[in-house]
C-alpha cells in the first residue's frame, strides 16, 4: 500500500530534509506534493529521480493527500492544518502551534507511541521541539526503570534550528569578521559567530525563554507525568547542525552510571558512547544521523540520586524531519494498513 503525501514548507530546510529522508527510508510514497508559498510556487524539486513542481499551498486541494508533513511556521500551520485535517489529510506538524492542546498527540515514537491513537480527534499530530525530542529518547528508559524527579538541562543548540537564513548569517558573520568587516546581527539578538547566546525564542514573564518553557511543558506531556520538574537553560552556539545537551537528573530511586549505560544500550534510537573519552559531538557523530548519541554518563558527585549525561542529536533530522517520518511510519503500521 502506498500513500499520497504533501510536504508544506518543501523549499525550507526541514521540508527539504523530509523529502530526502522519505527517499532514504523508502517510505511508501505514491505521489508527493511539495507545497510552499506563492513566492516559490513554480520552482521544481527532485524526488526519486523525478522533477516535481512546487505548488502554492493556498490553492491546494488537501483531500489529494492522505498524510501531510507541515514545517512552514506556526502561523502557516494554524491556517492550513484544520483545513487539511477536515479534508482527511492527517497532518504531522513540526511547529509549536498545536503541541500544548490537550486533544492533540505529541509523539516521539520510541517514547510514547501509544499517544498516537488520539490523532483521530482532529487528524493533527504534533512533532515536539528538537531539544525535547533528543532529551526524551535518552531519558525515557531511565524514567521507566527508576523514575525521574527532576531534570536540570543546559542546551548547546545549532543555528539550523532557526532556519536557512540563520545558517547563512553565521557563515557570513564568520567571513566578515575574519576579513575585518563590521557585522549587524539579524536572526539573533547578538553576534552569533565566535559567541554563545543564552536566548532562544522570546522571553516569558517568568524570565525563562519560550524554548526553555517548551522543554518543560513538552516533557510533562510526553512522559505523562505532571510532577516531573524541569529546569532548562537553552543556549545558541555557532554550530551549523546538531544540538548538544548537558543533562543532570535526580532519579526517584538510586541508580548507578553502569546501570544507566546498560539501560540505554538496550533502548531504541540511541547510540551509547561508554568510555569517557568517547563522548559524542555534533561534528563526526550526530550530524547527518538519525540516532541520539549519549556519552559522559556518570554519577553526580554532589547528589546521591544524581546522574549526568551528554546527549547529542541532529536537530534537523531526529529533532524534526526523521521524527515526523517515524510518526508517519507508526501511523501507517498501526492505523492505516
Ligand atoms: P517559501 O519558499 O515559499 O518562502 P525555513 O524554515 O528554512 O526558512 O523555510 C520555511 C518554509 O516555509 C519554506 O518552504 C517557505 O516557503 C514556507 N513558508 C513560509 N511561509 C509560508 C506561507 N505563508 N505559506 C506557505 N509556505 C510558507
CATH number at residue 102: 3.40.50.720
- For residue 20, what pLDDT is reported? 98
Tell me: do 82 and 159 sit in the same domain. Answer: no
Split at pLDDT 50, 70, 90, the class of 69 is very high
Q: Cα(328)–Cα(90) distance, rounded to whole angstroms? A: 9
The binding site comprises 11-14, 39-40, 99, 157, 160-161, 182, 236, 315
Tell me: do 69 and 151 sit in the same domain. Answer: no
Tell me: do 41 and 153 sit in the same domain. Answer: no
Tell me: do 163 and 85 sit in the same domain. Answer: no
The answer to whether the CB of 337 falls within 8 A of the CB of 276 is: no
φ and ψ of 222, to 5 deg: -70, -40
Question: What is the CATH number for 195?
Answer: 3.30.360.10
Distance 188 CA to ligand 1 centre (A): 19
* Tens digits of residue pLDDT in 222-250: 999 999 999 999 999 999 999 999 999 99
The answer to whether the CB of 50 falls within 8 A of the CB of 31 is: no
Split at pLDDT 50, 70, 90, the class of 134 is very high
Q: How many CB atoms neighbour CB 53 within 10 A?
A: 11
Tell me: do 208 and 96 sit in the same domain. Answer: no
Active site residue 130: yes
The overall average pLDDT reported for the chain is 98
- The stretch 120-147 carries a mean pLDDT of 98
Tell me: do 219 and 149 sit in the same domain. Answer: yes
pTM flag (> 0.95): yes
The binding site for NADP(+) comprises 11-14, 39-40, 160-161, 182, 315
Tell me: do 179 and 306 sit in the same domain. Answer: yes
Domain holding 156, by residue range, is 131-315
Tell me: do 231 and 328 sit in the same domain. Answer: no
Q: Total structural domains in the chain?
A: 2
Q: Exposed (0-12), middle (13-18) or buried (19+): which is 291, by Cβ within 10 Å?
A: buried
Residue of 6, 154, 174, 243 marked catalytic = 243
Which residues sit opposite 249 in a β-bridge?
151, 307
As given in the structure block, the three cell numbers for residue 129 are 521541539
Active site residue 243: yes
* Tens digits of residue pLDDT in 254-313: 999 999 999 999 999 999 999 999 999 999 999 999 999 999 999 999 999 999 999 999
Tell me: do 163 and 245 sit in the same domain. Answer: yes
* Tens digits of residue pLDDT in 152-187: 999 999 999 999 999 999 999 999 999 999 999 999
Query: What end-to-end distance do the CA atoms of the chain give, in Å?
Result: 7
Q: Give the SS3 label for residue 177.
A: helix
Tell me: do 149 and 201 sit in the same domain. Answer: yes
- For residue 1, what pLDDT is reported? 95
Tell me: do 89 and 174 sit in the same domain. Answer: no
Tell me: do 120 and 136 sit in the same domain. Answer: no
* Tens digits of residue pLDDT in 78-107: 999 999 999 999 999 999 999 999 999 999
Amino acid at each position: 500500500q502506498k500513500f499520497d503525501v504533501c510536504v508544506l514548507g518543501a523549499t525550507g530546510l526541514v521540508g527539504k530534509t523530509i523529502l530526502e529522508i522519505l527517499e532514504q527510508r523508502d517510505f511508501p510514497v505514491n505521489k508527493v506534493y511539495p507545497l510552499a508559498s506563492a513566492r516559490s510556487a513554480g520552482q521544481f524539486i527532485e524526488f526519486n529521480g523525478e522533477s516535481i513542481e512546487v505548488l502554492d499551498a493556498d490553492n491546494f486541494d488537501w483531500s489529494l493527500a492522505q498524510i501531510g508533513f507541515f514545517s512552514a511556521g506556526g502561523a502557516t500551520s494554524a491556517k492550513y492544518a484544520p483545513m487539511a485535517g477536515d479534508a482527511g489529510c492527517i497532518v504531522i506538524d513540526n511547529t509549536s502551534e498545536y503541541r500544548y492542546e490537550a486533544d492533540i498527540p505529541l509523539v516521539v515514537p520510541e517514547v510514547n507511541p501509544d499517544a498516537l491513537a488520539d490523532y483521530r480527534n482532529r487528524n493533527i499530530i504534533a512533532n515536539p521541539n528538537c531539544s525535547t525530542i533528543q532529551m526524551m529518547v535518552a531519558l525515557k528508559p531511565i524514567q521507566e526503570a527508576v523514575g525521574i524527579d527532576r531534570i536540570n538541562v543546559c542546551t548547546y543548540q545549532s543555528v539550523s534550528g532557526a532556519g536557512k537564513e540563520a545558517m547563512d548569517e553565521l557563515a557570513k558573520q564568520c567571513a566578515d569578521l575574519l576579513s575585518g568587516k563590521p557585522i549587524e546581527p539579524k536572526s539573533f539578538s547578538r553576534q552569533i559567530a565566535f559567541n554563545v547566546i543564552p536566548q532562544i525564542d522570546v522571553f516569558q514573564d517568568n524570565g525563562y525563554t519560550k524554548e526553555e518553557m517548551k522543554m518543560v511543558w513538552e516533557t510533562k506531556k510526553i512522559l505523562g507525568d505532571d510532577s516531573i520538574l524541569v529546569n532548562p537553560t537553552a543556549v545558541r552556539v555557532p554550530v551549523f547542525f546538531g544540538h548538544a545537551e548537558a543533562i543532570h537528573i535526580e532519579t526517584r530511586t538510586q541508580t548507578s552510571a553502569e546501570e544507566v549505560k546498560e539501560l540505554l544500550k538496550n533502548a531504541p534510537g540511541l547510540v551509547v558512547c561508554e568510555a569517557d573519552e568517547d563522548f559524542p559531538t555534533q561534528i563526526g557523530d550526530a550530524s547527518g544521523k538519525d540516532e541520539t548519541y549519549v556519552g559522559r554518563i556518570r554519577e553526580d558527585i554532589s547528589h546521591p540520586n544524581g546522574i549526568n549525561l551528554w546527549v547529542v542529536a541532529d536537530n534537523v533530522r531526529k529533532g524534526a524531519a526523521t521524527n515526523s517520518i517515524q510518526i508517519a511510519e507508526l501511523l501507517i503500521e498501526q492505523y492505516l494498513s
